[in-house]
């Protein structure tokens, strides 16, 4: 489904009563089955955007639409993959995913069928995160939110997980919004990259990734576009 984030503003109240403006007139669109990366400095409001889309927070102004309709958790299915897997260690891989309904198909999709009856603590960190992704996909989401899902992994494992995500992303129907602070990861995975500025956050730049989805992370075009994203972030 098409995702529209229209003129969104969000502020929080500090413990001392002062207001903190986090988002200021943030607008972007993700086409159906599109994959967009949001990249920006720490604390700029990337996770706030995901929490608004998940219905965990309400915007102070602006409108969020999915499939042309205002966001409604009763109408729209939202999958959420967090930074840490958040699995139930006393349940098997299959039982963790069955919490979200459809297990076997998504376990096969992410390559975990042989481990369906194992417990999460017996799996590597990368495999645990794949269980978390399978759980989010099991509800057949309209929108899949991913909040720095590989940031806690070592680089070799993270590279393998990014490659795995590219492998199966064309097989899912969801529109994907992927948050990261890693410019190379953002370019490698996405169809489009939106660069966020410091608080109060706005979209500072947008890039279209004009490369096949079977791209390699170290190919010249990906590295060149990464440099452009870094420049938009103000990197020296």
Domain range list for the chain: 3-77+143-154+173-232
Q: Name the token pair of 21.
A: 């403006």
Q: What is the pLDDT of residues 54-87, one digit of tens each?
A: 989 999 999 999 999 999 878 899 999 988 767 7
pLDDT at 102 over 90: no
Given 3.20.20.140, 3.40.50.300, 2.40.10.10, 3.40.50.10320, which CATH number is that of 3-77+143-154+173-232? 3.40.50.300
Residue 23: the pLDDT is 95
Instruction: Please choose, from the candidates 168, 176, 181, 117, the residue with its C-alpha nearest in 3D space to the C-alpha of residue 144.
Output: 176
Helix axes 125-137 and 155-168, enclosed angle (nearest 10): 30
Q: Average the pLDDT over each of 28-37, 94-103, 198-207, 209-218 and give the range with the smallest value.
A: 94-103
Beta bridge partners of 152: none
Task: Measure the CA–CA gap between 66 and 70, rounded to whole angstroms.
Answer: 6
Confidence of residue 138 (pLDDT cuts 50, 70, 90): confident
Task: Measure the CA–CA gap between 107 and 102, rounded to whole angstroms.
Answer: 9
pLDDT at 160 over 80: yes
Residue 101: the pLDDT is 54
- Percent of the chain at pLDDT above 90? 49
Taking a C-beta distance cutoff of 8 angstroms, is the pair 78, 141 a contact?
yes
In the DSSP assignment, the letter for residue 139 is: T
């Amino acid at each position: 489904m098409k995702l529209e984030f229209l003129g969104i503003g969000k502020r929080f109240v500090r413990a001392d009563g002062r207001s903190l403006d986090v988002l200021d007139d943030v607008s972007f669109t993700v086409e159906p089955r599109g994959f967009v990366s949001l990249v920006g400095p720490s604390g700029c409001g990337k996770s706030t955007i995901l929490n608004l889309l998940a219905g965990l927070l309400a915007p102070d102004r602006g409108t969020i639409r999915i499939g042309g309709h205002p966001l409604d958790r009763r109408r729209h299915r939202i999958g959420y993959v967090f930074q840490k897997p958040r699995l139930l260690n006393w349940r098997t891989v299959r039982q963790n995913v069955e919490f979200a309904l459809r297990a076997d198909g998504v376990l096969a999709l992410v390559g975990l069928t042989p481990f369906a009856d194992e417990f999460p603590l017996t799996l590597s960190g990368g495999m645990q995160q794949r269980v978390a992704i399978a759980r989010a996909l099991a509800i057949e989401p309209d929108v899949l939110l991913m909040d720095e899902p590989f940031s806690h992994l070592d680089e070799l494992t993270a590279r393998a997980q990014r490659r795995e995500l590219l492998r199966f992303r064309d097989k899912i129907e969801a529109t994907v919004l992927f948050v990261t602070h890693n410019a190379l990861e953002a370019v490698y995975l996405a169809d489009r990259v939106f660069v966020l500025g410091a608080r109060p956050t706005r979209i500072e730049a947008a890039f279209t990734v004009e490369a096949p989805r079977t791209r390699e992370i170290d190919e010249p075009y990906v590295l060149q576009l990464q440099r452009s994203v870094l420049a938009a972030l103000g990197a020296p």
